[in-house]
Amino acid sequence: MISDRPEFTSDKRFDADHHLDGLLVVCGDGRFEEQVNDFREHLRQKLGLRRLDRYFVPGSQLQFSASETGHPSTETATDYWTRFFIDKHHLAHVVIVGHELCAAYRSAPAYQNFGPDQLRAQQTRDLLQTRNLIRQNYPYLRVHLYYMKPKEDDSGVEFFFVGK
């Protein structure tokens, strides 16, 4: 049963329009929460992406090919929800962010013997493969790929563009 009184009320106006600017697919790792919020603001300023759907899943791009890594298959659900956001909210952009120290990658049976450089290279391949999968069905979409990693002294997190 839902209570009669709200526990919290946001004073920010709600916009019910289903036309959003893009989808942000990012790992649900809470260690990066504040930095992802900062990056979200960067996307707003740099690309003009004012309103984004957010899809937080372990390993972000890993979910598009999880069964290949020894994890349970999630491709069908990930594909479904990605299409749902793109189609229902008329999106023009998809932003996918992978990250260093990703437990979803480190725990994948197929990657158990990978060192940090091999994992980073695999994540990069998966980001590019995910972009290609999305573009097969939505060639008009702009797909932006990034890789975030903590600075050497942990004083911040850097976001790197991933290209060809």
User: How much of the chain is in helix, strand and coil states, percent to nearest 5?
Assistant: 45, 20, 40
Homologous superfamily assigned to 22-161: Carbonic anhydrase (3.40.1050.10)
- pTM here is 0.88
**Phi, psi of 103, deg, nearest 5:** -65, -30
Give 2-22 pLDDT, tens digit per residue: 889 989 899 988 888 888 999
What value does the mean pLDDT take over residues 17-38? 93
